[in-house]
Structure 1
Amino acid sequence: MLVHRRWDSLGRADLGWLTAKHHFAVSAKDDPSHEALGPLIVWNDDQIAVGSGFPMHGHRDMEIVTYVRQGVLGHRDTLGSEGTIHAGDVQVMSAGAGIRHMEFNRGDVPLKIYQIWLLPRIFGGEPRWDTKPFPKGDRSGRFVVLASGFDTDEGALPIHANARLLGATLKSGERIQHELGRSRQAYLVVASGRIEVNVESMGPLDGVAITKVATARISAFEDSELVMVDTG
């Protein structure tokens, strides 16, 4: 089953320095049918103004994956970690027993990121942070695992959740498929471009929840960038 969550149907928040769209309901104003998908409970499309960002704040018992779509993200936390993450790259933070951090726009254009929250397998673990570049050319015409809770996914950033984050870029006319099996679920977002998933047409920034589908068959109508969480 495919449940299309179109861009204009998503919940929205506007704080001036931050505008956000919610693929999953996070407030009473959001569509209640946009519910969690297994351990995947948050997928926010955030835009942060130049010179702004999230001040120091805390998290616990959450796996937080950030995919940078545009600009440069700065990170600093109470573990002493500090990093700069560029468009196409990924950072992961396992909050575990507790961590405080700040994230901010370190560039000269609006920062666009996906903030993805996943429930961990075990609560109260040791907090950690990591980041890694993932050249878009390496995922041309195929899905590449960017972050994963499974040891078999070599090269991916490790997380403590039963899920994996994947990315792909497709040229107009290209087709790929992703095997799920009917016991797994996935959420796919069109970061840019236009595609079709099992005959369901999707526009830029749309999302789709995929359940009870053995194979997701994807065709690109134009050059496209895809980001997906497989909760297998």
Structure 2
Amino acid sequence: MIERRPFSSLGGADHGWLKAKHHFSFSNYHDGRRMGWGALRVWNDDTIASQTGFPPHPHADMEIITYVREGAITHRDSLGNEGRTEAGDVQVMSAGTGITHSEYNLEPGATRIFQIWIIPDEHGQPPTWGAKPFPAGERSGRFVALASGFKEDTDALPLRTNARVLGATLKAGETTRYPLEKNRYAYLVPAKGSVEINGIKLDARDGAAILNEPSLEVKALEDAELVLVDTAQ
């Protein structure tokens, strides 16, 4: 089962400094049919204006993954962590028992991110934050784990949940495959470009909710950049 969710069908909000689209119910947007997908709870497509951002605010008991598509985001938190994550790179905040953080676009132009929240398997753990570059060339033609709760994904940022966040870049005409185990929930969004996934076309920033597919065959119709979440129920 693959359900295409066109970008135009997503909920969202325009706050001036922030233009947000929500693949799942979030904040003032509520759709009872889109409350999450397996343990995946939030997938926000955010455009943040220059010299603006999210002031300090708290989180707890959530794995929060930020994939930077354009520009850069500057993070500060109550643990004393501070870092700038730029396009193509990823940061993970395991909110654990509680953390306060801010996220600002201090760049001269707009910053565009995917922010993904996954429900953790572990509770009562201390909060952590980390970031890592993932050069596009290293995920050319294949999916690479960017963040993962699986010990074998040694190059990925760690997650406290039975899930992977993966990235791939494909040239027009290229095809890649990704196997899915039984009862896994997958959600795929092209950050750029259009693709076919098991024969179903997705345009840039469309979502695909996937269940009971033994494998995914993704063909790029044009140069494409992909983000995929593979999670348990």
- Cα distance per residue 1:102-138 (max 9 Å; x no partner): 0000211101001100111122210000000000010
Structure 1 residue 16 displacement after superposition? 1.0
Residues 162/14 of structure 1: CA separation in 2 closer, same or farther (3 Å cut):
same
Q: CA RMSD in A?
A: 1.0
Matched, 1:182 2:182: yes
- Cα distance per residue 1:138-160 (max 9 Å; x no partner): 00000000000111111000010
Paired with 1:7 and 1:32, the residues of 2 have a C-alpha distance of: 18
Matched, 1:14 2:44: no
Query: What's the counterpart of residue 148 of structure 1?
Result: 148
Paired with 1:5 and 1:27, the residues of 2 have a C-alpha distance of: 19
Q: How does 1:20-169 map to 2 (within 5 A)?
A: 20-27=20-27, 29-169=29-169
- The one-letter code of the counterpart of 1:203 is D
- Are the counterparts in 2 of residues 10 and 31 from structure 1 also a CA contact under 8 Å? no
Structure 1 residue 27 displacement after superposition? 4.7
| Local SS of the residue matching 1:8 | helix
Query: What's the counterpart of residue 206 of structure 2?
Result: 206
Paired with 1:29 and 1:76, the residues of 2 have a C-alpha distance of: 27
- The one-letter code of the counterpart of 1:64 is I
- Are the counterparts in 2 of residues 10 and 30 from structure 1 also a CA contact under 8 Å? no
- Cα distance per residue 1:42-75 (max 9 Å; x no partner): 0000011001000001000111000000001100
Structure 2 unaligned segments of length 5 or more: list them. Answer: none
Structure 1 unaligned segments of length 5 or more: list them. Answer: none
Structure 1 residue 29 displacement after superposition? 4.0
The alignment covers a number of residue pairs equal to: 232
- TM-score normalised per structure 1: 0.97
Paired with 1:218 and 1:83, the residues of 2 have a C-alpha distance of: 33
Paired with 1:32 and 1:25, the residues of 2 have a C-alpha distance of: 8
Percentage of pairs with the same residue: 53
Paired with 1:35 and 1:3, the residues of 2 have a C-alpha distance of: 15
- The one-letter code of the counterpart of 1:26 is F
- TM-score normalised per structure 2: 0.97
Query: What's the counterpart of residue 219 of structure 2?
Result: 219
Query: What's the counterpart of residue 231 of structure 2?
Result: 231
- The one-letter code of the counterpart of 2:35 is E
- Cα distance per residue 1:177-198 (max 9 Å; x no partner): 1100332111000100010011
| Local SS of the residue matching 2:83 | strand
State the 4+ residue runs in structure 1 displaced beyond 6 angstroms: none
- The one-letter code of the counterpart of 1:134 is F
Q: More deviation in 189-198 or 174-183?
A: 174-183
| Local SS of the residue matching 1:97 | coil
| Local SS of the residue matching 1:153 | coil
Residues 171/109 of structure 1: CA separation in 2 closer, same or farther (3 Å cut):
same
Structure 1 residue 33 displacement after superposition? 2.0
- The one-letter code of the counterpart of 1:213 is E
Q: More deviation in 24-33 or 173-182?
A: 24-33
Paired with 2:30 and 2:135, the residues of 1 have a C-alpha distance of: 34
Q: More deviation in 26-35 or 183-192?
A: 26-35
